[in-house]
Amino acid sequence: MRIFLAGATGVIGQRLAALLHDAKHEVTGTTRRPVMASMLRALGVAPVVVDVFEADALAEAVKAARPDVIIHQLTDLPAQTADPEHQRADEHEQDELRHLAPRLYGRLYAMHRFGLVALFAFASCMLTGFAQRPADDQPDMKIDAATRTQVIETLVKNLNDSYVFPDVAKQMGEAVRGRLQKGEYDQMTGAAAFAKALTEHLQAVSHDKHLRVRYSNEAIPAQSSNRREPSPEERQNMLRYYGTVNYGFEKIERMAGNIGYLDLRGFAVADMAGDTLAAAMNFVGNTEALIIDLRQNGGGDPAMVTLLCSYLFGQEPVHINDLYWREGNRTEEFWTKKSVPGKRYEGKDVYVLTSNRTFSGGEEFAYDMKNLKRATLVGETTGGGANPGVDPRQGLCGQRPLRAKLFPAGQGKSKIHPL
């Protein structure tokens, strides 16, 4: 059988590629990095170097491979670590990749016109456990003192230009410049270690888990400043993907004592997930109290957060929160909706379960419910990241080895009752 393996150089992809080859399948595997092609050949896999976010290039790669089956194995599984903070940061990386999955899956699914028999979307980026990374998916790059200085100066400029809290941006800049002057980075000759150190030092000041520096051995294409809506085909493919994960609704149950239970793993795009949310709220509509379990919720669409909130209040709009964007000095307001397609859950007790994996939009919902005194929160302190943002990319030495994810809104942790 001809198999197209997307993500063949990942943690699980490498193992799967070898097993498929041993089973006598004809395997084509993707990698973003030309240097990994030889490793794939050694596994008996025909390599194809492609960025899966480039739809046209991906389509050509699939067309050339003429697969019977496509296996989606694009993951960001972390290396095992004893440091809880690093472990949680790695978990949040997985959650972010999970929310990119609809478009990735959609682009792969669209290739059915090339004669595809089946597509398997193994959502291993949603695993709660940790896999030991056999080796980095890219070679490291040596850097010198001039490069380290250039990276820090570019990083500080991006922070001062974009970060929502100018005072915090200034503190972060002073912190990393101070470490540079003290020689703390002098022994760091590898880009990967340098990026990791910068992430730790920025987060030590900002406490913003969304703020990270990452290293790429290959050039990262510049992002377009004009964000576009997905095409009709992309939208249909996103809907297909969301269907495979039930729009984040993992479990809905009526428990003993007529208590409703909703296990929500993510906030899918609101105008796509609205029907599923309505069905869920109709199911629990006659219960005496509702438990919303966000312990494995990594976030998602702020509009979906607002839509779920709308079911828990009356018809009169309630001001949920505001998102302030430093760029343009603008504030975006979020209010509950006057009408919802399903049954409202008014005047009944609501309990929200949280953990340190409750991140981004999950944390926002927990905070909204607590701040508006609509729910009782039970669990652990949430993981942070209740803020939107941008992804600036900086080129260095003719390449783009480092990039900083700067999210221009502050982190709002919810201090809640421990179990």
Query: 403 or 265: whose pLDDT is higher?
Result: 265
User: Is 307 a residue whose pLDDT tops 90?
Assistant: yes
Cα-based distances in Å from 222 to 66, 216, 348, 393: 30, 13, 49, 7
pLDDT at 324: 78
CATH class of domain segment(s) 2-126: alpha beta
Question: In degrees, to the nearest 5, what angle opens at C-alpha 283 toward C-alphas 280 and 284?
Answer: 90
Buried/exposed code over 355-378 (b: 16+ C-beta within 10 A; e: otherwise): bbbbbbbbbbbbbbbbebebbebe
Averaged confidence pLDDT in the chain: 78
SS3 content of the chain, % helix, strand, coil (to 5): 40, 20, 40
User: Is 220 a residue whose pLDDT tops 80?
Assistant: no
User: Is 145 a residue whose pLDDT tops 80?
Assistant: yes
Instruction: Report the candidate in 414, 335, 405 with the shortest Cα–Cα distance to residue 158.
Output: 405
Residues 6+ apart with CB under 8 A from 320: 305, 306, 309, 334, 335, 336, 368, 372
Same fold flag, 2-126 and 240-379? no
User: Is 2 a residue whose pLDDT tops 60?
Assistant: yes
pLDDT at 75: 57
Buried/exposed code over 148-185 (b: 16+ C-beta within 10 A; e: otherwise): bebbbebbbebbeebbbbeebbeebbebbeeebeeeeb
Q: Across residues 97-124, what is the average pLDDT?
A: 53
Give me 144's structure tokens.
């010198």
Query: 211 or 147: whose pLDDT is higher?
Result: 147
Quickly name the fold that domain 240-379 has: 2-enoyl-CoA Hydratase; Chain A, domain 1 (3.90.226)
Comparing 138-152, 219-233, 362-376, 389-403, which segment has the lowest mean pLDDT?
A: 389-403
Comparing 26-30, 38-42, 83-87, 160-164, which segment has the lowest mean pLDDT?
A: 83-87
Instruction: Spell out the domain ranges in the chain.
Output: 2-126, 145-224, 240-379
pLDDT at 331: 84
